[in-house]
A and B are shown apart, each in its own frame.
Chain A
Amino acid sequence: MKNAIEMKNLTKNFGELRAVNNLSFSIKEGELFGLLGPNGSGKTTTVKLLTGQIKPTKGNATILGMNVLKNPIKVRELVGIIPEQETPPSFLTSEEYLHFVGKIRNLDKIEEKSNSWLEFLEFEDQKNVLCKDLSRGTRQKLMFAQAFLHEPKIAFIDEPLINLDPIIQRKVKDYLQEFVKNGGTIFFSTHVLEIAEEICTRIGIIDKGTLIYEGSIKDLKKKRQHLEDLFLKLVREA
């Protein structure tokens, strides 16, 4: 399997604060990689760096062989992103927003694709409601739909399950697992350890911007080690 995501010495400073510190690791195609860490550990900044939303202070990354620093727009054409905060434009309806994203991405059959996502995530009845009036859960469904509308090969998803009800959570987890089985790659940022343990194939733990652990879930299971115990131990020691 080829590397889908590669980063080398990826570093980001915000003034005096080093949010991401020398991250160097890669993720192969077909992996569901979970980046775990406590609040403020640098997970969201890493996603933003990998998708060219912000520029690194040092280092670089490639997505499917494409240099993120040089081609941030091309990278965002290839990937799907669910940002940490669900921020669809306030005065478009759900359906209009999916059409808006479809047109930005130059998709064909936008209506068909949009309808299938509205149906799959069970919010067709909300399609004519303004985004600002949607519940947080529905907004999250909408952001999920926009990220996968163009059938990307890689998706970066930041805490995508938090506001969803258990039925939709199950559907989404199954979808993500199916997505990677079919060759897709997921970079999943979360601090909900149970979800990571359940669906990820490999995990990384980040604390204060530094990667403090990297390994597969299979290895953990072989060692009969619980992710929660490992996480607490590493973060407390760091």
Chain B
Amino acid sequence: MLEILRNMIKEEWRIHSSLFGSFMFALFPVLLAVIAFVGALSLPFVEIAIPINQMLSIFQYLFILFGLSIGSFGLFGREIMNRRFGHASLLAYSSRSLPVSEKKIFVNFIVKDIIYYFILWIAPFVLGFAIASPFLSISFIYSLSFLLILTLSFLMGLSVAFFLSTVYVHSIKLLIGFLGLLTIASFISVYYSNVNISNLLSVLSFYYLPSFNQVALSFFIIIAPIAFSLFFLKVDYPQKTRIFKNSLDKFSGWFKFSKYSIFVSKDFLDFNRSEGGLGKIIFSFFLPLSFVWLLISVFMRLMPLLNPFVIFSIFLGILSSSFYNWFTEFDLFTSYAFLPVKISTVMKSKVNSYIIINLIPLFVLILASLWTNQIENFMPSLFVFLSVSAYTLSITTYLAGLNPNILLYNAKIFLEYLLLISPILLILIFLSVVPYYLILSIVLIPISYQILKKSYEKWDSIEQPYF
């Protein structure tokens, strides 16, 4: 039993270190601790805008989401692993080839996830907070409570992911039905009853009311879904052969204004046909965007000189770059390496796709300007959105080429990314005191163009890394 666990942890470490290098990956928890330390030092300022209880809730939900994503990736991520590592055969999928029961493998898998991500994420994050606590005159006991809240939140997300994956394996319809019921129940609870579902899920309620019932409820919420998953464990995933009529030629006709219409068509087909479809846009773009909007509205109380809509347009530009990451997620250069195609050609085509999909954030910007009655500030906001979007894209392509989803997790590259983007953001936020000054951001467009040109040269001149 312990042998499997030890090897699973080793395997997880090697997957990550093969992507980023052992040293760089080992730096990741250090970086996380530093970020938490700096974040904690800024608490006295942030607390004026967001009460500490709300902040704790935000962290709690973030770690529930983190647990959900780790659990889902571990169980549904075989396709992604296969794309990156060839036909990946992880220990988690080995119950058919080894004389070990599926239940045993699954228990080891859960324990591995808990230990690995506790050491790598939760502990460093809380450590950063704990180191900062003497400077803030906060008792050390708060760090322990923080550790407990984040661990329970992560476990809750993890157990829900395992539960949902078990339902999914048995029937996709059942999963959809279950999620539908949950949505309706949440809706009713919010609008028609006094029961608040978020309170039921909240491990914070244990923190506020440390009664036996709260402890029991928190653990029940974590253990029950895992027990259910174990009892109804099934490893065969419902796989359906998906059939489509030729749409490439049709798409290519739509995008014929682009020199790279065939590649752009492929990008949009990938986007459309891959798992998640529209859900991906919601999670990777609209969800963080709503979060940014919320944060801006709160922080603006601290800085009344700044215009929330204008600041939102700056961050809209940054978040748009997540679309480039999606376009590069679905194919590796190995699919093109044997064709007469340069790396820069594929990069240019992704930039074309990116320009087209930026119509979505542009539409969001128009809606936001109407909603907030900020039509008079629309022009400077449009300029700054386009400039920041172009600049962020150019920095991403320069540093990470066709592999932003891998290389931006490299601590060194991520730091370079932050250093190249943050000062520009600060200048733009400073300029936004007089929104029309933001028209000056247009200088970022030719700069971005030059950086893009340099990135094409850079990635053409080096051998494409194989992950």
Bound form: Cα–Cα A89–B274 in Å: 11
Select which of A85, A90, A100 is within 8 A of B330 by beta carbon.
A90
Q: Are A130 and B249 in contact (CB under 8 A)?
A: no
Q: Are B332 and A87 in contact (CB under 8 A)?
A: yes
Bound form: Cα–Cα A48–B339 in Å: 12
Give A54-94 as 1s and 0s: 1 = Cβ < 8 Å from B's Cβ atoms. 11000000000000000001101100011101011111110
List chain A residues, Cβ under 8 A from B339. Answer: 76, 81, 101, 104-105
Q: How many A-B residue pairs have CB under 8 A?
A: 87
Q: Are B335 and A89 in contact (CB under 8 A)?
A: yes
List chain B residues, Cβ under 8 A from A54. Answer: 463
Q: Are B338 and A100 in contact (CB under 8 A)?
A: no
Distance from B465 Cβ to chain A, minimum over Cβ atoms (Å): 12
Q: Are A129 and B83 in contact (CB under 8 A)?
A: no
Q: Is B102 an interface residue (CB 8 A)?
A: no
Q: Is A99 an interface residue (CB 8 A)?
A: yes
Q: Is B340 an interface residue (CB 8 A)?
A: yes
Bound form: Cα–Cα A55–B464 in Å: 11
Q: Identify which of residues 322-337 in chain B touch chain A, using a CB-to-CB cut-off of 8 Å.
A: 330-332, 334-335, 337
Q: Is B133 an interface residue (CB 8 A)?
A: no
Q: Is A159 an interface residue (CB 8 A)?
A: no
List chain B residues, Cβ under 8 A from A48. Answer: 337
List chain A residues, Cβ under 8 A from B334. Answer: 83, 85, 87
List chain B residues, Cβ under 8 A from A92. Answer: 248, 266, 269
List chain A residues, Cβ under 8 A from B342. Answer: 73
List chain A residues, Cβ under 8 A from B244. Answer: 93, 96, 128, 130
List chain B residues, Cβ under 8 A from A81. Answer: 338-339
Q: Is A103 an interface residue (CB 8 A)?
A: yes
Q: Are A90 and B248 in contact (CB under 8 A)?
A: no
Q: Are B262 and A104 in contact (CB under 8 A)?
A: yes
Q: Are B340 and A77 in contact (CB under 8 A)?
A: yes
Bound form: Cα–Cα A90–B83 in Å: 9
Distance from B328 Cβ to chain A, minimum over Cβ atoms (Å): 13
Bound form: Cα–Cα A83–B339 in Å: 10
Q: Is B96 an interface residue (CB 8 A)?
A: no
List chain B residues, Cβ under 8 A from A74. Answer: 340
Q: Is B273 an interface residue (CB 8 A)?
A: yes
Chain A residue at smallest Cβ distance from B462: A55
Q: Is A24 an interface residue (CB 8 A)?
A: no
Select which of B269, B274, B338 is within 8 A of A96 by beta carbon.
B269
List chain B residues, Cβ under 8 A from A96. Answer: 244, 246-248, 269
Q: Identify which of residues 254-270 in chain B touch chain A, using a CB-to-CB cut-off of 8 Å.
A: 262, 266, 269-270
**Known contacts being A90-B83, A91-B330, A129-B241, is A53 close to B262, with CB within 8 Å?**
no
Q: Are B340 and A105 in contact (CB under 8 A)?
A: yes
Q: Is A95 an interface residue (CB 8 A)?
A: yes
Q: Is B252 an interface residue (CB 8 A)?
A: yes
Q: Is A18 an interface residue (CB 8 A)?
A: no
List chain A residues, Cβ under 8 A from B340. Answer: 73-74, 76-77, 104-105
Chain B CB within 10 A, most for which of A48, A53, A74, A82 = A53
Q: Are B335 and A128 in contact (CB under 8 A)?
A: no
Bound form: Cα–Cα A129–B244 in Å: 6
Chain B residue at smallest Cβ distance from A51: B338
Chain B residue at smallest Cβ distance from A131: B335
Bound form: Cα–Cα A89–B338 in Å: 13
Distance from A154 Cβ to chain B, minimum over Cβ atoms (Å): 13
Q: Are A89 and B337 in contact (CB under 8 A)?
A: no
List chain A residues, Cβ under 8 A from B79. Answer: 90, 132
Chain A residue at smallest Cβ distance from B251: A96
Q: Is A133 an interface residue (CB 8 A)?
A: yes
Q: Identify which of residues 162-200 in chain A touch chain B, using a CB-to-CB cut-off of 8 Å.
A: none
Q: Are A91 and B270 in contact (CB under 8 A)?
A: yes
Select which of A82, A88, A100, A105 is within 8 A of B248 by beta carbon.
A100
List chain A residues, Cβ under 8 A from B173. Answer: none
Bound form: Cα–Cα A91–B83 in Å: 12
Q: Are B338 and A99 in contact (CB under 8 A)?
A: no
Bound form: Cα–Cα A97–B243 in Å: 14
Give A122-155 as 1s and 0s: 1 = Cβ < 8 Å from B's Cβ atoms. 0000001110110000000000000100000000
Query: Which 8 A-B pairs give the minimum distances between C-beta atoms?
Result: A81-B338, A76-B340, A96-B248, A77-B340, A91-B273, A103-B262, A91-B270, A133-B241
19 contacting pairs across A/B (C-beta < 8 A): A55-B463, A73-B340, A73-B342, A76-B340, A76-B341, A77-B340, A89-B270, A89-B330, A90-B83, A91-B269, A91-B270, A100-B248, A100-B262, A101-B339, A128-B243, A129-B243, A130-B241, A130-B242, A147-B338
Binding site for B on A (CB under 8 A): 48, 51, 53-55, 73-74, 76-77, 81-83, 85, 87-93, 95-96, 99-101, 103-105, 128-130, 132-133, 147
Query: Apart from A73-B340, A81-B339, A105-B339, what are 11 other A-B pairs with CB-CB below 8 Å?
Result: A51-B338, A73-B341, A76-B339, A76-B341, A77-B340, A82-B338, A99-B249, A100-B266, A128-B244, A130-B244, A133-B239
